[in-house]
Structure 1
Amino acid sequence: MDLLSSLGGDGPQGPESPQCSRKGCRAEAAWQILWNNPKIHDEQRRKIWLACDEHRSWLEDFLRQRLFWRRTADMSEDVGPG
């Protein structure tokens, strides 16, 4: 028996659809915001925050101010592993 089985169920249950990464927002995500911190991530590494239409610009601006933003993609786009 593995640890997740011993806790009951098949593991943690997440939302049925991807949700916005903005704190407190539970809206369905429409965008993938790709970013990295060049001080700790290599140039090819991409982290992904999800954004709804309302919070897309807020999250992009937050990352741009820190020089972390790389690009934004539609949720339907396959951006590959981070």
Structure 2
Amino acid sequence: MYEEVYNEEYVRISGELQKLRQDKSKIETGNVSIEQYKERVDEIIKVIKEQEGLLTEFDDKIFNALVDRIEILEPTHFVFILRNGMRVEERV
């Protein structure tokens, strides 16, 4: 009888421990993601601050620093995926 209770509690506690380990891993991964996001935002701010005066023409350095990729949904509908993860939709 004691062995049965012990085994039931062992299984229950082991399950809880596994869930807590998974939760901890998710939290740690989230903290890394937040740090990476902050670094990317800081890079964008740095590029913008380095710009002198107003832009009068296309600047590929700024564009490449800000934009990770472009998704073309339709010939007149684009989505710019910025390096910080933001999405900017544009229709022309």
Question: Which TM class, normalised by the smaller chain length?
Answer: under 0.3
Q: Give the alignment's TM-score, normalised by structure 1.
A: 0.26
Q: Which has the higher contact order (CA 8 A, sep 6+)?
A: 1
* Structure with a larger share of its residues in helix: 2
Q: Give the alignment's TM-score, normalised by structure 2.
A: 0.24
